[in-house]
Amino acid sequence: MIAVVTPAFAQNFSSDELDRMSQERQQDIGSRDWGNPVNPTPQTTTSRPLPLSVTCMSATNDTATLYSAPNIHAQKVGIAGPQLAVTNTEVSGWRMVLMNANHMAWIQASELGPYQSLNASHPVDCVVSGERADGTVLFAHPDQ
């Protein structure tokens, strides 16, 4: 005996058929009491001023490395994200990046460019508006 297994394909059901099948399935599983809706606590975006002046910039490639010091042989501390809080401090072709209230990193200045929105069809600007109470950098994206 030979069994033939065919791959699953999308079915073409009308909306009426889908509604009917949904109602049948609902009868099979019965009603559910999910309880009262949960009201999530609003995320606190309490902002305080940054300890130094920064500009929102982007790395020119997705693999730009962040270092602990302005030296290619320094410890690697991460990969640059799509938005960076870059300071005006430059040392021998390296720019200092504010990671959070207590940590800085360095990136080669040649790997930095103006901020680039991740969605080219909906470009937005990027500004560094401060830091949250936990010290993380707070970025804002006002429409252009």
For residues 93, 99, 104 and 108, what is the CA-based torsion angle, rounded to 10 degrees? -10
Q: What is the rounded distance in angstroms from the CA atom of residue 48 to the CA atom of residue 8?
A: 55
**Predicted confidence (pLDDT) per residue in 93-123, tens digit:** 999 999 987 899 999 999 999 998 887 777 7
Q: What is the rounded distance in angstroms from the CA atom of residue 28 to the CA atom of residue 8?
A: 24
pLDDT value at position 122?
A: 73
Q: Does domain 54-140 have CATH number 2.30.30.40?
A: yes
- 3-state secondary structure (DSSP) of residue 33: coil
**Predicted confidence (pLDDT) per residue in 16-65, tens digit:** 888 898 888 888 887 777 777 777 666 555 677 787 889 999 999 988 99
Measured CA distances, 110 to 58, 62, 93, 114, 139 (Å): 11, 14, 7, 12, 23
